[in-house]
Structure 1
Amino acid sequence: MSKVHINWEGNMKFVGADDSGIAIPMDAAEIYGGQGQGVRPMELMLMSLGGCTGIEVTHILNKMRVTFDELKIEVTGNRVEDHPKVFGDIQVIYRFTGENVPVEKVNKALQLAEQVYCSAANMMNKVAKITYSFEINGTVHEYQPKQDAN
């Protein structure tokens, strides 16, 4: 079971911590009285998606014996107009650098991460349309999601 603790620190600032004591400050937008003292909770959700898929992609590529020098992940979310203003669509871009990073293996790792192993992606895609793409050494490659055999 996962469990976190969130403490109010005054004004609109909260600090969340996991059972290990690792803490993340959160704050509201300025229009709600926030003072820029933490990440906004909805941005934290985008970070969770990028972190979760990034961990899974890296783990899978390690098992495939694929090495890379750098991986940067950019996640952009567009919120709907009406409350509760959830994300309607999310775009995730993986940017790899390194020698001999095979396109097919990156695509396969991304398929497994987003469709099977990343809990955040599987939960968030029930609300938002999530699209993925990746680059290797600056070259954009079209992500090919695994098609159902139905």
Structure 2
Amino acid sequence: MSKVNITWEGNMKFVGTDEGGFKVPMDASSIYGGKNEGVRPMELMLMSLGGCTGIELGHILNKMRVCYDRLDIEVSGNRAEEHPKVFSDIQVVYRLSGENIPVEKVNKALQMAEQVYCSASNMIKNVAEITYSIEINGTIHPYEA
């Protein structure tokens, strides 16, 4: 069982701490009285999606012996107009750089990462439409799910 603790630090600031002692400050926007002293919880969900799929993608690429020099992930999402303002659609872009990166292997690794191994993507896709794209050395390649 996973467990985290959330501690109120005054005003609208909270700090989440995981079982390993890692801390994440969270704060509300100024509209709700926040002071921009932490990430917004909904943005943290986007970070979780990117982090989870990124970890799985990197792990699978390593097993496939695909070398890369850099892997950056951009995640953006649109939220519903009405409450609860859940994400209606999310876009994830994986940017890899390095020599001789085979797009077919990256595509296969991303399929496995997002469809099978990443718990965050499998949970979030029940609420929001998630689209993925791959960019290798500046060239965009279509993701084939």
The verdict on a shared fold, with TM-score over 0.5 as the criterion, is yes
Unaligned runs of 5+ in 2: none
Identify the residue that residue 58 of structure 2 maps to in structure 1: 58
Aligned 1:80-95 pairs, distance under 5 A: 80-95=80-95
How big is the shift at 1:49?
0.1
Identify the residue that residue 117 of structure 2 maps to in structure 1: 117
How high is the TM-score relative to the length of structure 1?
0.96
Identify the residue that residue 148 of structure 1 maps to in structure 2: none
Identify the residue that residue 39 of structure 1 maps to in structure 2: 39
How high is the TM-score relative to the length of structure 2?
1.00
The runs of at least 4 consecutive aligned structure 1 residues that moved more than 6 Å come to none
- Tell me which amino acid in the other structure corresponds to 1:123: M
How big is the shift at 1:79?
0.1
Aligned 1:1-150 pairs, distance under 5 A: 1-145=1-145
Give deviations 1:36-71, integer Å, cap 9, x for gaps: 100000000000000000000000000000010001
Give deviations 1:109-134, integer Å, cap 9, x for gaps: 00001100000000000000000001
What do you get for the CA RMSD once the two structures are aligned? 0.3
Secondary structure at the aligned position of 2:5 is classed as strand
The number of residue pairs the alignment matches comes to 145
- Tell me which amino acid in the other structure corresponds to 1:100: N
Q: Percent identity?
A: 74
- Work out the CA distance in 1 between the residues paired with 2:55 and 2:44: 16
- Work out the CA distance in 2 between the residues paired with 1:30 and 1:142: 39
